[in-house]
Amino acid sequence: MNPDAVEENQEEGNILVWLTGLAFLAAMIAIFIYVPTERTEGVIQRIMYFHVPSAWLSFFAFFVVFICSILFLWKKEREWDIYAQASAEIGVIFCSLVLVTGPIWARPIWGAWWVWDARLTSTLILWIIYVAYLMLRTQCDAGSMRARYAAVLGIVGFLNIPFIHFSVLWWRTFHPQPKVITNEGIGKGMDPTMLATLGVSLCAFTLLYFLLMGVRVRQENLKDEIDRLKKEKLYSS
Amino acid sequence: MNLFLNQILAIVWKDFVTELKTRELFSAMFIFALLVILIFIFSVNLSVVKASEVGPGVLWVAFLFSGTIGLNRSFMLEQENGCLMGLMLVPADRTAIYFGKLISNFIFLSIMELFILPLFMIFFNIDILEHLLPLLIVIFLGTLGFCALGTLLSSLASNLKTREIMLPILLYPLLIPIIIAVVRMTGQILNGEPLSEMMNWIGLTASFDIIYIGVSIMTIDHILEE
């Protein structure tokens, strides 16, 4: 990498940092000041503005893992492996957030931390699949084998999602039905202010995803660079 | 096509000869499945719960656990003395290795299941003979799905540092949909419902089998590559 490109990357990164910061500031104001408290559920309902974006983000991240895994097996280029790994790590973090915020909300509303509802169960299974994916990565030495194996698991794991969805749906379900996209059309099931707050929060989380991806990918690239330099300097003399 | 089938048959035959000589795998799988059923019988109070309600779950957990022993063996045996390298040097398609292993895993597991079923019938006092045909269809679909995904992941796990540990960790979460499906179907069949009542579950299991065999054909080249 030449120095100019590094600087340019830095500048882009800085803009993204500012954008993400502003978006989160806006989201916090919207969540804690602007949006009215929900009538029946009370103040605890505000956790939804973290819960839903985290869920969206983790599913998006796992989808990126899937796409990057396919691209890696097709092109065999190291960068797709880096993208897949970074995305899986971010996805697992936000999937954990979903699993933490969910019970906090469920305890006062449902009267139980956890129920074996379809969506809860499928999120938990998804979390385990991608934790196993990250474990697989620690089990192999860095190199082509690790990348190939992880890519295969990234594909197999994502293809499992429809099966998990239908099997646990037919098994049982009582999660709140989706409110944003309902049978009546988009955004009819919710108050407009709530919808706006959720929208801002979604934007903030999505920006955060790209910010974290950038940092993680840069870190992996630097690691490769260090390895390369080490080999060059240590073994050449 | 004929050549491809011959290659597959050669691998299946090799696995059978090895098993007949050593007799390690089958007895271990059978005793292990029996132990799992016994432990479950001790851990639930059968005078309180209905046997037909816990039975299907216990049966499939036994199949799943002992099947994992078989999967662990199937590629790890090849790691010894560099047999896997030998297999890969054979001028055969990698999918032939996959199908050979899939078929031998499937046959070993099916034979074990046929031995376990009568014992299950005796221990749980469930008469399975009147629903035998639908039950066998469900067991066929479930075992095929288990072996399709299991063979792929077993070939992958055999190259890892902690192979015996990683295979179940990778495999079980991915198997959950099919486990839910087969346990549900087995329960309904033992309650006397016809197969036509559970077409959605059959569709789910069958498409799971087809999709994962397809994915394995496409990705096995990338796993068995050196």
Question: What is the spatial distance between Cα A180 and Cα A48, in angstroms, rounded to a whole number?
Answer: 12
SS3 sequence, chain A?
CCHHHHHHHHHHHHHHHHHHHHHHHHHHHHHHHHCCCECCCEHHHHHHHHHHHHHHHHHHHHHHHHHHHHHHHHHCCHHHHHHHHHHHHHHHHHHHHHHHHHHHHHHHHHCCCCCCCHHHHHHHHHHHHHHHHHHHHHHCCCCHHHHHHHHHHHHHHHHHHHHHHHHHHHHCCCCCCCCCEECCEECCCCCHHHHHHHHHHHHHHHHHHHHHHHHHHHHHHHHHHHHHHHHHHHHHC
b/e per residue, A95-119, with b = 16+ CB within 10 A? bebbbebbeebbeeeeeeeeeebbb
Residue A58 contacts residue A94 (beta carbons within 8 Å):
yes
pLDDT in tens, chain A (237 residues): 455 555 666 666 688 888 888 888 888 888 888 777 777 777 778 888 888 899 999 999 999 999 999 999 998 888 899 999 999 999 999 999 999 998 888 888 888 888 887 788 889 999 999 999 999 998 887 778 888 999 999 999 999 988 888 888 787 655 566 655 555 555 556 677 888 888 888 888 999 999 999 899 999 999 989 988 988 888 765
For residue A20, being part of any structural domain is answered with: yes
Contacts of B152 in chain A (CB under 8 A): 152, 156
Asked if B222's CB is within 8 angstroms of A151's CB, the reply is yes
Tell me the per-residue pLDDT of B62-119, one tens digit each, with 9 for 90 and over.
999 999 998 988 888 888 778 888 888 888 888 899 999 999 999 999 999 999 999 9
Number of domains in chain A: 1
Among all residues of chain A, which has the CA nearest to that of B169?
Answer: A132
Angle between helices B94-124 and B132-157 (to 10 degrees): 130
Token pair in block for residue A198: 């959720």
For residue A3, being part of any structural domain is answered with: no
Query: Which contiguous run of DSSP H or E holds residue B143?
Result: helix B132-157
Token pair in block for residue A69: 């895994």
Q: Which residues of B fall below an 8 Å CB-CB distance to A?
A: 149, 152-153, 156, 159-162, 166, 169-170, 173-174, 176-178, 180-181, 184, 200-201, 204, 207-208, 211-212, 215, 219, 222-223, 225
For residue A8, being part of any structural domain is answered with: no
Within a 13 Å sphere around the CA of B35, how many CA atoms are in the beta-carbon half?
Answer: 8
Question: What is the spatial distance between Cα A147 and Cα A165, in angstroms, rounded to a whole number?
Answer: 28
For residue A76, being part of any structural domain is answered with: yes
Domain coverage including residue A224: 14-35+47-236
Among all residues of chain A, which has the CA nearest to that of B163?
Answer: A139
Complex-level ipTM = 0.89
Among all residues of chain B, which has the CA nearest to that of A148?
Answer: B222
Asked if B149's CB is within 8 angstroms of A125's CB, the reply is no
Rg, C-alpha atoms of chain B: 18
Nearest to B180 among A151, A152, A168 (CB): A168
Please report, for chain B, the start and end positions of each structural domain, with discontinuous segments joined by +.
2-223
- What residues of chain B score a pLDDT lower than 50? none
Asked if B173's CB is within 8 angstroms of A125's CB, the reply is yes
Distance from CA of B57 to the nearest CA of A (A): 14
Asked if A140's CB is within 8 angstroms of B181's CB, the reply is no
Q: What is the DSSP letter of A142?
A: T
Asked if A157's CB is within 8 angstroms of B174's CB, the reply is yes
Tell me the per-residue pLDDT of A137-166, one tens digit each, with 9 for 90 and over.
988 877 788 889 999 999 999 999 888 888
For residue A7, being part of any structural domain is answered with: no
Q: Around Cβ B109, how many Cβ atoms within 10 Å? A: 25
Tell me the per-residue pLDDT of A117-137, one tens digit each, with 9 for 90 and over.
778 888 999 999 999 999 999
For residue A220, being part of any structural domain is answered with: yes
Among all residues of chain A, which has the CA nearest to that of B162?
Answer: A139
Asked if A164's CB is within 8 angstroms of B177's CB, the reply is yes
Nearest to B222 among A136, A148, A160 (CB): A148
